[in-house]
Amino acid sequence: GAGVSQSPSNKVTEKGKDVELRCDPISGHTALYWYRQRLGQGLEFLIYFQGNSAPDKSGLPSDRFSAERTGESVSTLTIQRTQQEDSAVYLCASSLTSGGGYAGELFFGEGSRLTVL
Amino acid sequence: DAKTTQPPSMDCAEGRAANLPCNHSTISGNEYVYWYRQIHSQGPQYIIHGLKNNETNEMASLIITEDRKSSTLILPHATLRDTAVYYCIVRGKAAGNKLTFGGGTRVLVKP
């Protein structure tokens, strides 16, 4: 597919369990972003990856949240010891970056809906 | 990134133009105005962006005031499928500048 792909689309887990959410960006897109959207709320920035640079982790809400990205491809968002307040849709986006460091528009995936019981 | 202010909701008649306002009085000279929309249960979708000049594409037109402190997104002929939350965002174009989403405007297109 040509778009940003996220999996799983839905995940139900028990409080205290760890979860991993996956994002496959559009091929060739060097920038990758993770956002969280709680029910009825706006999008909250979590983390940003750009090439081999150190990621911008300024939006991660706690040390239970971490993310990795392998080169300019797949990214995984991990939430350890999940809590009920982690229930949300987790959205991934990618964008092209020009040689001048300017980003094109962000393309979002459909999101992974996480429900913590 | 500069803060934006949008009305929380608005209704629009199908087939009519929808004019969505946005205030961004603290925008700086190198920040662009971006518009995204989010249809229910989907990820946000890019619509249009601009710096100073008015812009038009196949989806919409963007009118930016001369002082750049406000802008209007125009959907020329609204359809039921345009029902969505519309976000106005100001952002520097450098790749490290993340999109900061506010509350947006919930647009309901009515038949």
- Examine the pLDDT at B96 and tell me if it is beyond 70: no
Kindly indicate the confidence band of residue B102, based on its pLDDT and cuts at 50, 70 and 90: confident
Order the strands of the B18-23 sheet from edge to edge.
B18-23, B70-75, B61-64, B55-56
Of A44, A95, A108, the CB nearest to B44: A108
Smallest CA–CA distance, residue A86 to chain B, in Å, is 18
Kindly indicate the confidence band of residue A32, based on its pLDDT and cuts at 50, 70 and 90: very high
- Examine the pLDDT at A97 and tell me if it is beyond 90: no
Chain-chain contact of B96 with A110 (C-beta, under 8 angstroms): no
Chain-chain contact of A106 with B99 (C-beta, under 8 angstroms): yes
Cα distance between residue B100 and residue A62, in whole Å? 19
Segment A19-38 mean pLDDT: 94
Residue B82: phi, psi to the nearest 5? Answer: -85, -5
pLDDT at A51: 81
- Examine the pLDDT at A50 and tell me if it is beyond 80: yes
Smallest CA–CA distance, residue A18 to chain B, in Å, is 24
pLDDT at A40: 86
Cα torsion angle, A38, A40, A44, A48, sign = positive
- Examine the pLDDT at B38 and tell me if it is beyond 90: yes
